[in-house]
Amino acid sequence: MNASSVAAPAAEARQTPSRPTIGVLALQGDVREHIAALEKCGAEPVLVRRASELAAVDGLVLPGGESTAISKLLEAFELLEPLRARLRDGMPAFGSCAGMILLASEVLDTRPDAKHLSGIDMTVRRNAFGRQVDSFETDLDFAGLTDGPVRAVFIRAPWVERVGAEVEVLATVPSGPFAGRVVAVRQGKVLATSFHPEVTGDLRVHRMFVDLVLAA
């Protein structure tokens, strides 16, 4: 066996992406659905409830749920400052619905004691589309995704009212009374959607996030 035949497999191994460990913040909300989607996308999902668990992941999903409740639990579990620090250090993150609210730098129509993470330079309006009875679905053109529109499920969802200069708008509501409202954004390694891609079976948004984690 010559030297080149020995070196080739090693080089090939270095080029093969590892299975990233992606945490799902497991304090409240639709955690199981994100876990299942990440597994199907080839990631190694883990539950995150402690700072030590947060320190061990390559990226983090902040699920839908009740944003003010999650923010209080972040403080109670002593995760708020460690999570802010990891975001400042460049950890990839993805927030859906309540997760989008938590990632914002400014939140409108929320409680004065609610906390946010400033992971994306944006202003988000909480419950912007209305109450639970106003939930709806629509198809969205989503920048960076192929194979047709994304079916989006909005449940007491926020929308984005302002984005900073470094924030890319990925999707807006195409028609109806909410036409033009921003519902998906990205800033660097941080992604957020107003809607719940984890409930439809369409894995493209999760695959986009897994690719962000692998690239990081």
DSSP H helices in the chain: 3-15, 31-40, 51-55, 67-76, 80-88, 98-103, 204-215
| Interatomic CA distance for residues 146 and 48, integer angstroms | 31
137 in a known ligand binding site: no
105 in a known ligand binding site: no
Residue from 209, 202, 204, 197 nearest 63 by CA: 197
Asked whether the beta carbons of 37 and 198 are under 8 A apart, the reply is yes
66 in a known ligand binding site: yes
Asked whether the beta carbons of 137 and 152 are under 8 A apart, the reply is yes
H-run or E-run covering 160: strand 159-163
35 in a known ligand binding site: no
DSSP H helices in 51-201: 51-55, 67-76, 80-88, 98-103
156 in a known ligand binding site: yes
Quick one: DSSP state of residue 18?
P
What positions carry a catalytic annotation?
A: 97, 196, 198
Asked whether the beta carbons of 78 and 55 are under 8 A apart, the reply is no
44 in a known ligand binding site: no
Residues at the binding site for L-glutamine are 65-67, 126, 155-156
Residues at the binding site are 65-67, 126, 155-156
